[in-house]
Amino acid sequence: MTQRRLAREAALETLYRLELVNDEPDDVIEEILNRRNPSEEAENYLRRVTQTAIDNGEEIDRVLKSHIKRWRLDRLRMLDRAVLRIACAEILYFDDVPWKVSINEAVDIAKKFGDDDSGRFVNGVLDSVCKELPQHEVSA
């Protein structure tokens, strides 16, 4: 498993817990770091992606809401919502992460932790997000 995959899974746990119990982000991250003991690379990426998702939450949610068909963002499973927020943070704000990597990682994580439909759902939403972003040249 790559260091970034470990960081994304820890970010998923962080965002999930923040939404569930509304703790302080730094406290949740520290607890996860103490339990998981990741590499420095994974720790840095966890902090980066989590902080980006939190700091840009309103914009990320606005983008996601415009691409979710027949659902409201607040009615999604918390896990799917967290996966989408992490991937959307990468897609919108991380120039060093190709959008295809963000989508593939999000789909794999959704399949691992979600239900039978999570992977397909996450893929469809994120693909839709990428197709509307001019900086992402998405070929059909």
pLDDT of residue 73: 87
The model's confidence at residue 135, banded by pLDDT at 50, 70 and 90, is: low
Question: Is 109 inside any structural domain?
Answer: yes
Distance CA 63, CA 126 (A): 10
**Conformational region of residue 79, where left means phi above 0, alpha means psi within -120 to 50, and beta covers everything else:** alpha
Question: Is 137 inside any structural domain?
Answer: no
Question: Is 140 inside any structural domain?
Answer: no
Question: Is 136 inside any structural domain?
Answer: no
The model's confidence at residue 139, banded by pLDDT at 50, 70 and 90, is: very low
Question: Is 139 inside any structural domain?
Answer: no
Question: Is 37 inside any structural domain?
Answer: yes
pLDDT in tens, 69-98: 888 888 899 999 999 999 999 999 999 999
pTM listed for this prediction:
0.91
Question: Is 59 inside any structural domain?
Answer: yes
pLDDT in tens, 5-61: 999 999 999 999 999 998 899 999 999 999 998 899 999 999 999 999 999 999 999
Question: Is 29 inside any structural domain?
Answer: yes
Q: Give the residue numbers spanning the domain of 108.
A: 3-131
pLDDT of residue 72: 86
Model confidence at 130: pLDDT above 90: yes
The CATH number linked to 83 is 1.10.940.10
Q: How many domains is the chain built from?
A: 1
**Conformational region of residue 114, where left means phi above 0, alpha means psi within -120 to 50, and beta covers everything else:** beta
